[in-house]
Amino acid sequence: MSTPEEDFKKFLNTFMGNDFGGAFDCFSKETRDYFLNYTFDLLKKRNPEAVEVSGIGLKEVLMMFRMNEKTLVHTFWKTFYFSSGTQELYQFGSYALKAQQGDKAIVACVLQYPNGQQGQVDICMVKEGNSWKYGFVESGMNLT
């Protein structure tokens, strides 16, 4: 069985390797649901007629995420990349378990920048099945 910090590193490597379908599966259910609804709402705002005529719903948006669909790469994932700080966590972070209670854990991401400055971000990980999932929403983050 993996540890919370190992599964967070797995998410980072998957995302930075441009395997967005795999990265989507590394998120907690609460976060995946948030991303599905966020993206569906965005599609409805951008082109409500197309969404209505095509019959696109949450099930189809889920398929788009799992299939690395190009539209999401250029819209959702680009937004996620710039708003989440994932690139910094990947490039400058080291990860250690800070706390664990039941099916929730906090991974401390210590950031060591080349100029000597340091920072820390606490990441919530949620146990689902046999693995730990990145609780982006549970960590208090959002896409704005």
Q: Stretch 115-130: mean pLDDT, rounded?
A: 96
Q: Stretch 68-81: mean pLDDT, rounded?
A: 87
Rounded (5°) CA angle 44-28-101 = 150
Q: How confident is the model at residue 68 (pLDDT cuts 50, 70, 90)?
A: confident
pLDDT given at position 143? 81
Q: What pTM was computed for the model? A: 0.91
pLDDT given at position 71? 82
| Residue 1: pLDDT over 90 | no
Q: Stretch 20-31: mean pLDDT, rounded?
A: 96
d(CA 10, CA 2): 10
